[in-house]
């Protein structure tokens, strides 16, 4: 079946910037022109590339942080990849320079960006000294890069343990040299307590654990935290980890139950933003798009607010009062 596929949009349109800043689309256009920032046409709307959004937001005092964030959770299918993908895209649309690192041999994050990397370098080849990290970086769009993954990465664990590598610094040593080029390095992991995931955790500033409203998820969370605590003691390292409630459905009693349960037991760790269960998250991947290509998607605003919180730009318009 042939289909006409519109590419995913890795940019913001004027209305989205207007909404963020609480001003009119016309005011966005005038302010951008005053700052010498050019727009381009997306249908009948003016749109701005991430680097231009960045110039605009920086001129309003927004500071971009430098963070390495790993998505980890022992339970499979907890939405690590989908959440990492949509968060990375939104951070980038808001002007952040983002490097996505797919370290799950399933290569789902790589698939989300629609790359087939058969015969292309992945992280394993870098770690094994076969190429440089730069050789493995794919430029997806303006200031959005990806280090892809495929089954070759399943030998990373063997590589770490067989050659008695320094687990503490194995991942950090490879990633650190390029970190300063990005505001966010977002690492997607497989659901396991592998040496690779331990090394990733030790190289990260923050670990995001997606939790869902079900018993298996609660069990996986408990085990994940126990393991982080154990590793932390062994390596004398304090992990900064947070829970992100996803697959929330307000009509389900279990969603209410687990929201209360996670909120009670992990009050200081649970992020205030909750990601709703929404078939458009799946539809977007299927259609080679992101949740931000679906204007009416229920989870769109959730991902948007999550990214805004990470950049500290939620309510920026209200705080400043004008463009
Ligand atoms: N907010 C959401 N609403 C509805 N479905 C979702 C949502 N987020 C993810 N999904 C779906 O849930 C399934 C599991 O998601 P995903 O593959 O991201 O999980 P994962 O934790 O990365 O899995 P794995 O442990 O295998 O790596 C996918 O089919 C995905 O489309
Ligand atoms: Mg995954």
**pLDDT at residue 296 greater than cutoff 50:** yes
Structure tokens, 113:
């960006």
Among protein residues, the one whose CA lies closest to atom 25 of ligand 1: 76
pLDDT band at 245 (very low <50, low <70, confident <90, very high): very high
DSSP 65-124: --EEEEE--SSTTSSHHHHHHHHHHHHHHTT--EEEEE--TT-HHHHHTT---TTS--HH
Among protein residues, the one whose CA lies closest to atom 8 of ligand 1: 79
Mean pLDDT (whole number) for 245-269: 97
Question: For a substitution probing ligand 1, which of 74, 77, 212 has the most ligand atoms within 8 Å of its CB?
Answer: 77
pLDDT band at 321 (very low <50, low <70, confident <90, very high): low
**pLDDT at residue 322 greater than cutoff 70:** no
User: Tokens 């649970």 — which residue?
Assistant: 270
Mean pLDDT (whole number) for 250-272: 97
Mean pLDDT of the chain: 94
Query: What pLDDT does 197 receive?
Result: 97
Please tell me the distance from the alpha carbon of residue 314 to that of residue 271, in angstroms, as a whole number: 14
CA 323 to mean position of chain CA atoms? 28
Query: What pLDDT does 241 receive?
Result: 98
CA of 41 to the centre of ligand 2 (A): 34
Query: What pLDDT does 7 receive?
Result: 73
CA 85 to mean position of chain CA atoms? 5
CA of 317 to the centre of ligand 1 (A): 33
Q: Could you give the domains of the chain? A: 7-63 (1.10.1660), 64-312 (3.40.50.300)
State whether the Cα torsion 19-23-28-34 is positive or negative. negative
Largest pairwise CA distance in the chain: 61
pLDDT band at 320 (very low <50, low <70, confident <90, very high): low
Question: 202, 172 in Cβ contact below 8 A?
Answer: yes
CA 91 to mean position of chain CA atoms? 8
Question: For a substitution probing ligand 1, which of 100, 109, 281 has the most ligand atoms within 8 Å of its CB?
Answer: 281
**pLDDT at residue 65 greater than cutoff 70:** yes
Bridge partners of 2, per DSSP, are none
Reported as a single tens digit per residue, the pLDDT across 18-28 is 999 999 999 99
Answer yes or no: pTM beyond 0.85.
Answer: yes
Query: Which residues are CB-neighbours of 277 under 8 A, at least 6 positions away?
Result: 246, 247, 248, 249, 299
CA of 72 to the centre of ligand 2 (A): 9
User: Tokens 């298996």 — which residue?
Assistant: 216
- Residues having CB within 6 Å of any atom of ligand 1: 76-82, 104, 106, 108, 190-191, 246-247, 275, 277-278, 281-282, 285, 299
CA of 174 to the centre of ligand 1 (A): 28
CA of 251 to the centre of ligand 2 (A): 26
Question: For a substitution probing ligand 1, which of 86, 247, 282 has the most ligand atoms within 8 Å of its CB?
Answer: 282
Mean pLDDT (whole number) for 111-135: 95
Mean pLDDT (whole number) for 268-275: 97
Question: For a substitution probing ligand 1, which of 70, 79, 104, 151 has the most ligand atoms within 8 Å of its CB?
Answer: 79
Mean pLDDT (whole number) for 2-12: 71
Question: 85, 112 in Cβ contact below 8 A?
Answer: yes
Reported as a single tens digit per residue, the pLDDT across 66-122 is 999 999 999 999 999 999 999 999 999 999 999 999 999 999 999 999 999 988 999
Query: What pLDDT does 315 receive?
Result: 87
Query: What pLDDT does 1 receive?
Result: 36
Question: 20, 317 in Cβ contact below 8 A?
Answer: yes
CA of 158 to the centre of ligand 1 (A): 27
The number of helices, as runs of H, and strands, as runs of E, in the chain is: 15, 10
Comparing 203-217, 259-273, 307-321, the range with the smallest average pLDDT is 307-321
Reported as a single tens digit per residue, the pLDDT across 142-165 is 999 999 999 999 999 999 998 778
Measure CA of the first residue to CA of the last residue in the chain; give whole Å. 47
Among protein residues, the one whose CA lies closest to atom 9 of ligand 1: 79
**Atom number in ligand 1 closest to CA 188:** 22
């Amino acid at each position: 079946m042939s289909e006409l596929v519109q590419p995913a949009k890795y940019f913001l349109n004027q209305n989205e910037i207007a909404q963020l800043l609480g001003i009119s689309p016309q005011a966005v256009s005038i302010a951008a022109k005053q700052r010498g920032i050019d727009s381009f046409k997306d249908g009948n709307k003016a749109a701005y590339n991430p680097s231009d959004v960045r110039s605009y937001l920086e001129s309003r005092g927004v500071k971009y942080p430098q963070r390495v964030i790993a998505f980890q959770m022992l339970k499979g299918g907890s939405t690590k990849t989908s959440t990492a993908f949509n968060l990375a895209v939104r951070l980038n649309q808001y002007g952040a320079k983002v490097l996505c690192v797919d370290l799950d041999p399933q290569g789902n994050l790589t698939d989300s960006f629609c790359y087939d990397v058969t015969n292309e370098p992945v992280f394993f080849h870098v770690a094994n000294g076969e190429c440089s990290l730069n050789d493995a970086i794919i430029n997806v769009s303006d200031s959005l890069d990806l280090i892809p993954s495929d089954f070759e990465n399943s030998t990373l664990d063997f590589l770490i343990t067989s050659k008695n590598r320094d687990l503490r610094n194995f991942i950090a040593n490879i990633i650190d040299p390029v970190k300063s080029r990005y505001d966010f390095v977002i690492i997607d992991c497989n659901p396991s307590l592998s040496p690779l995931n331990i090394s990733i955790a030790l190289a990260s500033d923050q670990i995001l654990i997606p939790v869902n409203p079900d018993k298996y998820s609660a069990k996986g969370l408990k085990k994940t935290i126990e393991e982080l605590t154990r590793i932390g003691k062994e390596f004398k390292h304090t992990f900064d980890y947070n829970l992100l409630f996803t697959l929330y459905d307000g009509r389900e009693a279990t969603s209410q139950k687990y929201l209360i349960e996670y909120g009670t037991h992990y009050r200081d760790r649970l992020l205030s933003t909750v990601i709703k269960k929404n078939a458009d998250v799946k539809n977007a991947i299927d259609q080679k798009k992101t949740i931000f290509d679906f204007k009416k998607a229920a989870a769109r605003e959730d991902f948007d607010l999550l990214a805004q919180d990470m950049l500290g730009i939620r309510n920026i318009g209200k705080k400043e009062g004008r463009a």
